[in-house]
Each structure stands twice: as structure tokens, then as C-alpha cells.
Amino acid sequence: DADVTQTPRNRITKTGKRIMLECSQTKGHDRMYWYRQDPGLGLRLIYYSFDVKDINKGEISDGYSVSRQAQAKFSLSLESAIPNQTALYFCATAFGGRTDTQYFGPGTRLTVL
Amino acid sequence: GQNIDQPTEMTATEGAIVQINCTYQTSGFNGLFWYQQHAGEAPTFLSYNVLDGLEEKGRFSSFLSRSKGYSYLLLKELQMKDSASYLCAPVEGTDKLIFGTGTRLQVFP
């Protein structure tokens, strides 16, 4: 089984709909991250969490919210989806400490029509 | 501010050596990661440099010069499966990776 899983893997939705993307990990890592990737722009950080009680905004948090339900689960919500949120979304985890490698989930391809 | 510069695309021949350069400007620099990403897939960890110098790991090596804000990834004995994007990611502070747009490498037979 994969260490970091994301659901759904693909989603097509309409403008204005609420969408939730879920991330689960079995690595026992404390830190979890949400990124989006757009062609020509690279990976950009949306939100990150160092533990269940710690949530931080990243570079591009507007239009998104997150929930850290447990150490192993970190969800990303789009309250009212818009077309420019069409992107590939990745969840990542890291053990913690000073600087640690981030391990990425397989990604969710989201299309907002 | 943050600025990461790496070539957009590179091509090379199977069996050859290729060097992918990355220059960066970040605040609170704390090392630099290189990731490999095949099209449509997740980035996977290749290397991490925090001190100046060369780190060798099999066919892949990574170099860092903190004073010059410069790193490179060296790929030897290229294989077709090395065709992918290579992402340079300096660390800002203790844990924020700042990703470049990546270098798309195409390996030809």
C-alpha cells in the first residue's frame, strides 16, 4: 500500500461547487502540506500543518481551507470552486525536525468548468 | 524575495552526462532539495544539500555553493527512464520548500 494516498485522483466539477480533497498517510509523519501545480508555475504551497493543532497559510491560501482531522489526515476544501483553481493538487508529508524530506502523494487532477 | 532560475528544457542522448543548473535567491536559506517528477506523477526525492560541495548518489550527484546561490544536478550514464522534469527546491526557514518551475529533460536513444 502507498504511504501517502489522495482521494479522489480525478475530479471534474462546476463553478460554485464545494469540493474536498483528502490526504491520508501511514508514514507516521507530523507535518503535512498541500500544493498546487500549474504548467509553467511550478509547485506552490497552499497550506501546511505541523501537527493536529497547528495550521498555517502558505503562498496561495485564498479560496482554500484545510482541516487536520488526525495526525494521518489532512483535507483541502474549495468552498466555491472557480475555473482558475483547475490544477494538479499534491499532498506531501514530512517527519519533522529541522529540515526533512517531503514525500508526495500521487496527486489529484481537478478541473473546474 | 524568492527567485529560482533553472533551464526550461534540456535534451541529451542515452549514455551521456547532463548537468542541470539552478540559481536561487531566498531568505533564511537552509539547504536545497532536488526532486524528479515524471509527467503526471508525484515528485520523488533525489537529493538534499545543506553544506557546500558535491554529494554523490549512484548515477546522480548534486552540488551546492551557498555563497553563489548555485546548485547543479549531474546525471551520468543517462537512461531513457531519466526523461522527466527535475525540480530545484531551496529551503526557506526550517521547512518551506520553494520550488522552481523545473527543467524538462528529454533523453533520446
Query: pLDDT of B83-99, one tens digit each?
Result: 999 999 999 877 788 99
Contact (CB<8Å) A99/B101: no
The pLDDT, as a whole number, for residue B1 is 45
For chain A, residues with pLDDT lower than 70 are 1-2, 97-99
The pLDDT, as a whole number, for residue A97 is 66
Contact (CB<8Å) B99/A40: no
Residue A37 C-alpha, separation from nearest chain B C-alpha, in angstroms: 9
Whole-angstrom Cα distance, residue A16 to residue A48? 24
Residues of A in contact with B40 (CB under 8 A): 88, 107, 109
Q: Which three cell numbers stand for residue B44?
A: 520523488
Average pLDDT score over chain B = 93
Residues of A in contact with B99 (CB under 8 A): 35, 42-44
Compute the count of residue pairs across chains A and B with CB atoms less than 8 Å apart: 51
Which amino acid is present at A30?
A: D
Taking only the tens place, the pLDDT of each residue in B51-76 is 999 999 899 999 999 999 999 999 99
Contact (CB<8Å) B101/A42: yes
Residue A43 has its nearest CB partner, among B31, B94, B99, at B99
Give chain A's contact residues with B (Cβ, < 8 Å): 31, 35, 40-45, 48, 58, 88, 90, 94, 98-107, 109
Residues of A in contact with B44 (CB under 8 A): 104
Residue A40 C-alpha, separation from nearest chain B C-alpha, in angstroms: 6
Contact partners, residue A43, CB within 8 Å, separation at least 6:
A35, A36, A37, A90, B43, B87, B89, B97, B99
Whole-angstrom Cα distance, residue B20 to residue A7? 34
Q: What is the CA radius of gyration of chain A?
A: 13
Residue in this structure with the C-alpha cell 482541516, named with its chain if needed: A67
The pLDDT, as a whole number, for residue A80 is 96
